[in-house]
Every structure is written in structure tokens, then in C-alpha cells.
């Protein structure tokens, strides 16, 4: 769907959901769609305090609402905190969602043009002259951020924060982690094929929870292990035995971890790294949920990426000869492992990556 068609469709949908919206509520929707929450962030502490105070007015049985905007953000209502996400995690997600949108002004003016068309067609319930006058006034002030109208606030009682769509897909995971972490330490496995976003999710979890993140890519086979017999094993192309002895077993017994990374450039194992235990441990990478490792995790997720997106990401990230190796060597091995060990079915949850 082209940008104008998408804007048109979403504005109509927004009006149907909030039929008493005013012109400034349309402006707020378009502004948030274009700029996100970059103007709202002061400090993480203040953000969390404001959310905690506002959440006091949210009913326990309030519906869980997530409204996609016409851009890279969604309005995530504070009722989502009723699912188990704690206020600190939610505040960090809002804080991390704040960034400068370099094309914000350009995108905003494109969206305003679409809104004008809908007003002229009588689809949005405003006088074309009034709408044009208010747009001109807004533009002359350099498009500052706007508040919801009093009518909108009184009628619909909006209580939400803008969260990046990159994070929204993982809200159920954060809720599950927060519930489990309230009871004790957690070891999480993040499974999935190449280019599904495992490493990116690991980095996000590190920012949210100050956790330890281990990468299965640090446990590639050493040269002497790379035999036809080993590669014939389902899931045999990582050193799961070393990962088990250096990471998972010490973790299970509550000991600090000392492990050695495999260096792909030198094809050797580096000196040991000392890692003190933290409340959350994340293991990301294909083969992390190998049947021999599964019992060491408290929770597991599978990131399911479609082949077209996977192919596009791999081609974007790699020079041609490396991309070719992904398509001809590594991905076929992953697929065999996924199918033969039913990894997707064994994981506690599956997240679709689109």
C-alpha cells in the first residue's frame, strides 16, 4: 500500500474509532505518526514517575489497547500494564522509543495533504475552510506538538504512551519475563533462523534488564570438530557440548561463568571471559534450544521470519559471497534442525517477524 493510501485508510479508521475527535486530535495523530515521542522525553526517572501516577486511574478490567499509528509507532495504552509488564520496563520502552525523525516534517506535510482531501470529500467532519485555516496557523508556528482536545479527553480518556513498533511485537515477552523475574532468576532462550532479529532482541533485552546475553555464534565448531560425521548430526554445526559445560551448567548451579569465544578470523578459541551472574540470562541463536540444552531454560521463544524478509535482510547485511553461503550452507542446516527437532513447537511462544 502506498503512503497516501495507507494514511487515508488509517485516518478513516481513526475517525470511526473516535467519531467526536476535533481538528487538533487529527493534528496530534498526524504529528505522532510523523515524529513519534521525541518531544516528550525528559529523563527516564520522570517518565516512570508520570506513568506510575497516571496508571493509578486505569481500571483492572480496562481493555488492552494497542493502536498502530501511520508510521513507526503505536499508541500502547497503560492498560497493557495489567498483562504483567511492570512500570519500569514500560517506561524504558517509551524512553528507548524516543528518537529524532529526520523525515518528520516531510512526512507530516504529506499526511496533512491526505487529511485535507478527506475533509474536502466530507469523510472527515470538518469545514474545509476551518481545517485549512487551522493547518495554516499550525504551519506558521512550525508544527509544534499538540494536545488532545478537551472533548477527546473527556469522551475517550486516552491514557497511553508511544512505543516503537520494533518493540510492540515483543510486549507479550516482556510481560512474561517481568512476571517470572518477580519470582526469581530467569534463563531465556531466543531461537530462530538467520536474520530473524535474535541478536537485535538480545541487545534490547540488555538495555531493558541489564542482563547477560550469550551468543551461540561464539560457539562455532573448531577446525578439528568439522568432520562429515559432525555435520551429519542434526544441529551438529555448533559446539553445544562446550556451551553446555562453560555456560549452562555453571548457570544452573549458581556459579559465575567463565567461557571462551570462538574467533572466526583466526579459527581459534580466545582466552576465558569472566561473567558474574545476573538475574536474567539470555541465550540467543539458532541451536540454543537443541534437545540436549532445552532443560536448562526457564522460558523460550521462537522468532519466525518469512523467507522473503529473511532473504532481503541477508542480502542487505552481507557481501554477495557471504550471502551465498547463508543461502546454500547455513540456512539449509538450520531448516533441517528446525524440522527434525520440532524447535518451533517446543518453544514456549512464537513471535512472527514481519
For 46, the enclosing helix (H) or strand (E) is helix 44-55
| 111 grid coordinates | 499526511
How sure is the predictor about 104, in pLDDT bands with cuts at 50, 70 and 90? confident
Q: How many residues does the chain have?
A: 354
| 315 grid coordinates | 542480502
Distance CA 183, CA 179 (A): 7
What integer pLDDT is reported at residue 4 of this predicted model?
86
What integer pLDDT is reported at residue 103 of this predicted model?
85
Given a cut of 60, whether residue 1 has pLDDT beyond it is no
Given a cut of 70, whether residue 105 has pLDDT beyond it is yes
Q: What is the mean pLDDT of residues 331-339?
A: 95
Given a cut of 90, whether residue 293 has pLDDT beyond it is yes
pLDDT tens-place string over residues 215-237 = 999 999 999 999 999 999 999 99
What integer pLDDT is reported at residue 98 of this predicted model?
85
Beta bridge partners of 162: 75
pTM (2 decimals)?
0.92
- With contact defined as beta carbons under 8 Å apart, do 54 and 94 qualify? no
**Distances, alpha carbon 87 to alpha carbons 135, 158, 161, 237, in Å:** 36, 18, 12, 41
Q: What percent of the chain has pLDDT over 70?
A: 97
What integer pLDDT is reported at residue 42 of this predicted model?
65
What integer pLDDT is reported at residue 40 of this predicted model?
61
How sure is the predictor about 296, in pLDDT bands with cuts at 50, 70 and 90? very high
Q: Scanning the structure block, which residue is given the C-alpha cell 505518526?
A: 33
Structural domains present in the chain: 3-167 (no CATH), 171-353 (3.40.50.300)
pLDDT tens-place string over residues 41-73 = 667 888 899 999 999 988 888 889 999 999 999
What integer pLDDT is reported at residue 102 of this predicted model?
74
pLDDT tens-place string over residues 107-150 = 999 999 999 999 999 999 999 999 999 999 999 999 999 999 99
Amino acid at each position: 500500500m502506498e503512503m497516501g493510501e495507507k494514511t487515508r485508510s488509517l485516518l478513516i479508521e481513526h475517525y470511526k474509532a473516535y467519531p467526536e475527535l476535533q481538528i487538533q486530535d487529527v493534528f496530534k495523530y498526524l504529528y505522532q505518526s510523523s515524529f513519534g515521542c521525541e518531544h516528550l522525553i525528559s529523563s527516564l526517572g520522570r517518565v516512570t514517575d508520570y506513568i506510575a501516577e497516571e496508571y493509578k486511574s486505569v481500571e483492572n478490567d480496562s481493555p488492552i489497547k494497542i493502536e498502530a499509528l501511520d508510521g513507526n509507532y503505536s499508541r500502547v495504552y497503560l492498560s497493557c500494564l495489567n498483562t504483567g509488564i511492570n512500570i519500569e520496563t514500560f517506561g524504558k520502552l517509551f524512553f528507548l522509543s524516543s528518537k529524532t525523525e529526520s523525515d518528520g516534517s516531510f512526512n507530516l506535510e504529506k499526511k496533512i495533504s491526505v487529511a485535507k482531501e478527506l475533509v474536502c470529500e466530507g469523510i472527515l467532519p470538518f469545514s474545509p475552510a476551518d481545517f485549512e485555516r487551522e493547518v495554516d496557523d499550525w504551519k506558521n508556528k512550525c508544527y509544534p506538538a499538540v494536545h488532545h482536545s478537551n472533548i477527546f479527553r473527556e469522551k475517550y480518556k486516552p491514557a497511553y504512551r508511544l512505543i516503537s513498533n520494533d518493540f510492540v511485537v515483543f510486549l507479550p515477552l516482556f510481560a512474561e519475563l517481568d512476571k517470572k523475574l518477580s519470582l526469581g532468576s530467569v534463563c531465556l532462550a531466543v531461537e530462530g533462523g538467520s536474520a530473524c532479529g535474535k541478536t537485535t532482541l538480545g541487545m534490547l533485552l540488555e538495555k531493558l534488564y541489564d542482563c547477560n546475553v550469550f551468543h551461540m555464534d561464539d560457539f562455532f565448531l573448531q577446525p578439528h570438530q568439522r568432520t562429515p560425521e559432525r555435520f551429519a548430526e542434526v544441529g551438529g554445526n555448533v559446539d553445544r557440548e562446550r556451551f553446555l559445560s562453560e555456560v549452562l551448567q555453571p548457570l544452573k548451579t549458581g556459579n559465575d561463568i567463565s567461557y571462551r569465544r570462538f574467533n572466526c578470523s583466526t579459527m581459534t578459541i580466545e582466552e576465558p571471559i569472566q561473567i558474574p551472574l545476573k538475574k536474567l540470562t539470555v541465550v540467543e541463536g539458532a541451536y540454543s534450544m537443541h534437545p540436549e540444552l532445552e532443560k536448562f531454560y526457564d522460558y523460550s521463544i521462537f522468532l519466525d521470519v518469512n523467507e522473503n524478509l529473511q532473504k532481503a535482510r541477508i542480502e542487505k547485511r552481507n557481501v554477495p559471497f557471504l550471502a551465498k553461503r547463508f543461502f546454500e550452507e547455513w540456512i539449509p542446516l538450520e531448516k533441517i534442525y528446525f524440522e527434525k527437532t520440532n524447535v518451533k513447537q517446543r518453544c514456549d511462544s512464537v513471535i512472527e517477524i514481519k
